[in-house]
Amino acid sequence: MDLSNRTVLVVGGTSGIGRELARRFASAGSTVAVAGRNPQALSELAAEGFGTFGIDVTDDFSVAASRDAVLARYPELDTVVTMSGVMLLEDLRDPAHFETTRTTIDSNLLGTIRVIDAFTPHLIRRGAGTFMTVTSGIAFLPFPPMPSYAASKAAVHAYSEALRAQLAATGVDVVELVPPDVASAGQEKANPHALPLEDFATEVMGLLSQDPTPHEILVRGVLMHRWAEREGTYDGLVAQRAKALIMLPGRQN
């Protein structure tokens, strides 16, 4: 993918990985818009020169209104990144966890599908473009303290594969970004081994610039998650990661 001449919308670009990739696309020469809910972050990004749009991916009307506003300003839009997501802990021994499940699935899975649906007719009409979906190493190697998160990301992986097949021959490609632990949104505190955001973004832009663009953007730090089943390390790694259940409030075991 030539990163220097795209017109990119990063939904979920107001912080963390999305904001960093928005900046990287812009410094590579692309035109970049970001969307999210946080008004302060949006106005700071507008001051940096980004097109900014309010969106709540859990709300059908908000997604449709943002889509209309984005396409009115950027009729040449060719790349949509579905970065929005929440990463929430859940204690499945407490039935009250279900509200977390609902929020997680609505934001991460249904939110991704809402945004893709909103822009699919436009990209098909253009006859060229890219959806970049965002999953996680946790889609392939569960992290037991975040069960609905793992389920949502495994679902986005499966959805991305099917979407790619359904859009074949339309000129619209689907690229799945699979981050490992990246030091954004407080991950550096939860996991001192989290990959620094800048290093992650540099590796991602390098992989994205390959021609043809890989279907999955796998930085080195995520390979052990992505291929654990194939490599026979899956059971051991899940057992090891289950030790992190101690981080759930009130859990001794």
Ligand X SMILES: NC(=O)c1ccc[n+]([C@@H]2O[C@H](COP(=O)([O-])OP(=O)(O)OC[C@H]3O[C@@H](n4cnc5c(N)ncnc54)[C@H](OP(=O)(O)O)[C@@H]3O)[C@@H](O)[C@H]2O)c1
Residue 129 as a binder of ligand X (CB under 6 A): the answer is: no
Q: Which of 26, 28, 37, 71 touches ligand X by CB under 6 A?
A: 37
Residue 12 as a binder of ligand X (CB under 6 A): the answer is: yes
CB of 66 to ligand X, least distance (A): 9
Whether 36 and 42 have beta carbons less than 8 Å apart is answered as yes
Cβ-closest residue to ligand X? Answer: 16
Residue 36 as a binder of ligand X (CB under 6 A): the answer is: yes
Return the range that interacts with ligand X (CB under 6 A); candidates 8-16, 66-74, 90-98, 236-244. Answer: 8-16
Nearest to 241 by CA among 190, 200, 205: 190
Residue 105 as a binder of ligand X (CB under 6 A): the answer is: no
Quote the CA–CA distance of 242 and 144 in Å, as a whole number: 5
Quote the CA–CA distance of 94 and 31 in Å, as a whole number: 46
Residue 184 as a binder of ligand X (CB under 6 A): the answer is: yes
Tell me the number of residues near ligand X by CB under 6 A: 30
Q: Which residues bind ligand X (CB under 6 A)?
A: 12-18, 36-38, 41, 55-58, 83-87, 107, 111, 134, 136, 179, 181-182, 184-185, 187
